[in-house]
Chains A and B, each alone.
Chain A
Amino acid sequence: GDSVTQMEGPVTLSEEAFLTINCTYTATGYPSLFWYVQYPGEGLQLLLKATKADDKGSNKGFEATYRKETTSFHLEKGSVQVSDSAVYFCALTPSGSARQLTFGSGTQLTVLP
């Protein structure tokens, strides 16, 4: 079945540091790929997405590129802020009619001032 593997956390960075959270996936066909963010005590919010190979999703300074050849969708940000502290989830929906999200295990990010 489909699966998503995310880099283990927690990740602790200083403000203005560069962030990379690795994500790789296993799926048939051409899934759509997502990054969701969960701030403390809140629900999940879509951060960015990409629906086909070589697409780059971007939002709030975060970027991720859909790499079909390496089955990856790594999340990056050039300069993190304290307010970016949250849990980040990589996820996919399969191609075809079923639309359930398959999530990675989540990566806790803490940014220190």
Chain B
Amino acid sequence: DTAVSQTPKYLVTQMGNDKSIKCEQNLGHDTMYWYKQDSKKFLKIMFSYNNKELIINETVPNRFSPKSPDKAHLNLHINSLELGDSAVYFCASSQLDGGETQYFGPGTRLLVL
């Protein structure tokens, strides 16, 4: 069983469209994250949710909105996509008081044309 899964794996879309990326973890963790990896492989935190509540919201455009329907899911919705949004987006999860190790999903490669 995949511990942290993301869908879709690849996403190609036009500028201005709205898209969502889904993430699910079956590890029973209480904290989930979204990271963005740019073309130079640099990784940066975007959001963090703990028990469905937002605890970290780095400086990202408000076109990005995370949604957590339950502890096991953290989806990322992006409005009005721009060329600069092209990147690989990784979901991760951890147990806040359980050793700090974060487990990553396989990534969603987003290309905005």
Contact = CB atoms under 8 A, between A and B. Distances in A.
Nearest to A31: B100
A106 B37 CA distance: 11
A99 B94 CA distance: 9
A27 to B, nearest CB: 14
Interface stretch (B11-19, B38-46, B71-79): B38-46
Majority DSSP secondary structure for residues of B touching A:
strand
Interface in B43-92: 43-45, 48, 55-56, 58, 90, 92
- The range of chain A's interface size is 20 to 34
Interface stretch (A15-23, A41-49, A60-68, A70-78): A41-49
B108 to A, nearest CB: 10
B3 to A, nearest CB: 10
Interface string A90-113: 000100011111110110100000
A109 B31 CA distance: 31
B100 A89 contact: no
B72 to A, nearest CB: 18
Nearest to B55: A98
B113 interface: no
B26 interface: no
B55 A105 contact: no
A46 B101 contact: yes
A32 interface: yes
Across the A-B interface, the 6 shortest Cβ-Cβ residue pairs: A100-B45, A103-B43, A44-B104, A43-B104, A106-B41, A43-B106
Given A43-B4, A46-B102, 12 more contacts: A34-B101, A42-B106, A43-B90, A43-B105, A44-B90, A98-B48, A99-B100, A100-B56, A101-B92, A103-B43, A106-B43, A108-B41
